[in-house]
Amino acid sequence: MKNIGGTGVYTKIIIDELLARGHTIGFWPANGVIFKEFQDKNLILYDMEQEEVNEEWDIIILQHADILYYTQRIIQQLKNVPIIFISHSSSPNDQITTDNRVMKVLKIAEGVASSNWDYPEEFIETHRNPIIIKQDSTYLKPRNPKNILLLSRLAEDKADIVRYIISTINRLPKYNLLIAGKAVFYEKYYSISNGNIKFLGQVENTDLLFKNTDLVIGSGRVALEGIANKRPVLVAGFRGLGGLVTPDNFQEYVKIMFSGRIGGQKAEKIERFDLEKKIETIFNNEKITDIVERNYLLLKQIFDHKLVVTKLEKTINNLIELFEMVNDKTRIVNLKPKLVSNCDFKNYDKQIIIERKVSGRQICVIDNELHAIISKLNGKKKIGQFLSKNIVDNSTLLQNIKELWELKLLSLTK
């Protein structure tokens, strides 16, 4: 696969797999380089500059896009379409719409924590960074001279770690450092590089690149791709210099998405000879074949793209079912007996959440209209006061729910 950046690669993987499963996708890609790469390769499925959205879409995918702008635009025209937001985190200006047709933001992210997102936790469902697992990957013992791969978007924020790696390999002429990736900062590294530092630029075929590599240095998706290609991976990223990924520390690296040293801090100082020692230790490790094989199996269990998309698709299908129930007035009438048989109310600020079992999952509906009806009847601002006062047992609960839904249906049909 062509190296089109981390989110570009796994956006394409997700889209390709969802298309293969029969979905019709509306795709808003990021502007700039990633947008052009998708456009050049005919990966944009529709012209997103058009004013009208396509009614045949059953999934919307936003990649590094303005989620508030697009969700508002989408829900005005498509009531029943789940939205997938692909990004590393949210920007300070992002906010989630509280429209009752947007139940979840399905986040495909570099990491798995949502603490760096500004959205309420209940709106976020995080899915793994998908990897296409190559069944024919084979570990080959290192050649001489050994090739060390640094595959990265050489942006300014990575300059310190790149300079550190270059300065280390400069002292080790028995190794070649292959630097691949799209960047405008190459000139900053030429002057400090010896002859064993090779600048490859944008690489069309990363599979071939990995095959000619004996050790991968990197973080995030680069680390995952290295493991998928059965190569030893030395983690180095914004959390500093980590170590060799092994079955013993694999899960710990997953928690920080292979972003540097386990327990490391952002932009932490690295000792001058630390990388040199780690490289020598890796190439002298007699168990390296067993390590890369077991890492590969662990990767398959968590990041295999078919597993990731299956979980994502399950949520998508549940949401589609729920959207249809909420937005179709006739279906609300038909489903009312089923709805009231397994419900509960919870106080959530000024909104009421109806929880219902849908395909074995608890799904939340944010329903402002129903909240308004209850508030008007009760004359109180907080739902919890009304419910705790009036609902004393299951039979009373069901009766209250029936009455409230009848009132809601009346308001919907006016």
SS3 category, 145: coil
Q: Which of 132-146, 160-174, 314-328, 396-410 is predicted with the least confidence, judged by mean pLDDT?
A: 396-410
Sign for the pseudo-dihedral over CA of 216, 217, 222, 224:
positive
> What whole-number percentage of the chain has pLDDT above 70?
52
For 176-186, write each residue's pLDDT tens digit: 999 987 665 66
What pLDDT is recorded for position 5?
Answer: 62
What DSSP string runs through 83-143? EEEESSS--TT------TT---EEEE-SSS--TT--S-GGGEEEE---B---TT-------
For 10-57, write each residue's pLDDT tens digit: 788 888 888 888 888 777 765 544 555 555 544 444 444 555 566 677
Contact yes or no for 220/259 (Cβ under 8 A): yes
Instruction: Sketch the domain layout of the chain as residue ranges.
Output: 6-127, 146-302, 317-413
Find, among 320, 401, 327, 396, the residue nearest to 361 by Cα: 320
The architecture CATH gives domain 146-302: 3-Layer(aba) Sandwich (3.40)
To the question of pTM greater than 0.85 for the whole model, the response is: no
Find, among 142, 89, 155, 149, the residue nearest to 119 by Cα: 89
Contact yes or no for 220/245 (Cβ under 8 A): no
Cβ burial 305-316 (10 Å sphere, 16+ → b, else e): bebbbeebbebb
What's the mean pLDDT in 378-405? Answer: 42
- Is the pLDDT score of 302 beyond 80? yes
SS3 category, 33: helix
